[in-house]
Amino acid sequence: MWKNTTLLVLFCLSQTLSVAQSDADAFMLKTIHAAALEHGKAYEWLTYLSEEVGGRLAGSPQSKQAIAYTYDELNKLPNVGAWKQKCTVPVWERGDKEQVIIRQGGNIIKELDVLALGYSGATKKRGVQASIIEVHSLDEVDSLGLAVDGKIVFYNRPFDETELNPFHAYGKAVDQRVYGPAKAAQYGAVACLVRSMTPNRDDVPHTGVTIFPEGTEPIPAIAITTNDADWLSFQLKKKSLTDATVITSCKTKGNYKSYNVIGEMAGSVSPDTIILIGGHLDSWDVGGGAHDDGAGCVQAMEVLNLLNQIGYTPRYTIRAVMFMNEESGLGGGKAYADSARATNTFHLAAIESDAGGFTPRGFGMEADPEVFTNYYRKANTWLPLLEPYGLTLSQGGGGADIGPLKSMKGLLVGFKPDPQRYFDFHHTRNDRIQNVNKRELEMGAAAITSLVYLIDKYGLE
């Protein structure tokens, strides 16, 4: 009887301690969110990046300004040390001329609103003039073969609007932009037009990288708006067009030295174990790179600021990384992973924010199969704390810059804000601070900080 009574007392005590601990954690998450909304710096930092620095192609003068700015701001934070990590990046310049002029019987009937794709080739001063062939896949170009020789290939497969998540639709369409121009060049096409990567019907062109393999001479490759794509397709079906002129003045300038920017709070118990939060500092040159991915960078910086604001001393080292060159080669992510492997630095978790500064919805998680089940099971024990903030956990996530860390068997986490408006602004001139909601940005930073706190306090075993 005494034995049973003792066990009952111990059980009740453990339950009381568990509830008390849960209450303490709930209070901490509430404190983090209050600090973000009242004292956050993310919007201030993002305003500077978007409006004072602007678009930040890797290797550009603007990218150097962004490196200097984020490094200086990190150094201003208490208990944070900052440094720059070298990486190698390819440098490409848009130039001052990009045009697509549509003709009918020698007469100009429309000039399209366009943006050259990153790493597009250049034309001579007067451009290239040829007839247009519309296609909807790379396989269709293979089927046409040399029938595209001397022609302008026009890729016009739209987003699948039945996909609930626009990122899934993007994944199904983006091969046209990334690999389509090189495929057209393989069969002798003189230029390539690509429907912009967005579900919207609008007059805003979306740029982005296109890849020409070594040995393939880059041809002019241009994104056109979805409205212009629909118009052009209609005109081609009517057989009312004769040809188009494409003009670009891009330059590929080789590889240059650049930097990742890193700031960290040293751990008090296991400083050699890292919890990383990151975004990419480079962006396309035509807007301010606010959602893509200034938001991710300032949210990573904000984690350090918020931990300072609430007086939290981390057990592990909390590290914010602004990666360089995600948009056109992952030079920064590769350099970071190479350094981590060379120094055998264990990253217990790496969290990437690269989906915009919208309302936080949760986190996607992945890891080496050997460790993923235990990590994911542990993370799910925190759902009662996260769900009041509208946050869920799902399998599959990570990110491009943290992906090379997967072999080191830490947890990779992709921050997931609401995705529905992301492709309104992605790679466009409209990716500016006025299209970022301050509260949504701050709530995202608080959500990430909350997850960092829980991983730091409880680990993943």
pLDDT in the model for residue 17? 39
pLDDT in the model for residue 20? 60
CB-based burial label for 37 (10 Å; 0-12, 13-18, 19+): middle
Going from the C-alpha of 429 to that of each of 110, 115, 158, 200, 325, the distances in angstroms are 21, 10, 21, 15, 19
Q: What is the pLDDT of residues 275-309, one digit of tens each?
A: 999 999 999 999 999 999 999 999 999 999 999 99
Pairing of strands 98-104, 360-366: unpaired
Query: Which domains are present in the chain?
Result: 25-90+254-458 (3.40.630.10), 97-252 (3.50.30.30)
Spatial distance between the Cα atoms of 384 and 295, rounded to a whole number of angstroms: 27
Mean pLDDT (the chain) is 96
Pairing of strands 128-130, 114-116: unpaired
What single-letter DSSP state applies at residue 428? S
Spatial distance between the Cα atoms of 301 and 295, rounded to a whole number of angstroms: 10
Q: Which amino acid is at 371?
A: V
Going from the C-alpha of 366 to that of each of 337, 394, 417, the distances in angstroms are 17, 9, 17
What single-letter DSSP state applies at residue 378? H
Exposed e or buried b for every residue in 98-133, given b needs 16+ CB within 10 A? bbbbbeeeeeeebebbbbbbbbbbbbeeebbbbebb
pLDDT in the model for residue 156? 99
pLDDT in the model for residue 7? 43
Task: Kindly list the averaged pLDDT for each block of 10 residues, start to end, along the chain of length 461.
Answer: 49 48 94 98 99 98 99 98 98 97 93 98 97 98 98 99 98 99 99 99 98 96 99 93 94 97 99 99 98 99 99 99 98 98 98 99 98 98 98 96 97 99 99 99 99 98 88
pLDDT in the model for residue 11? 46
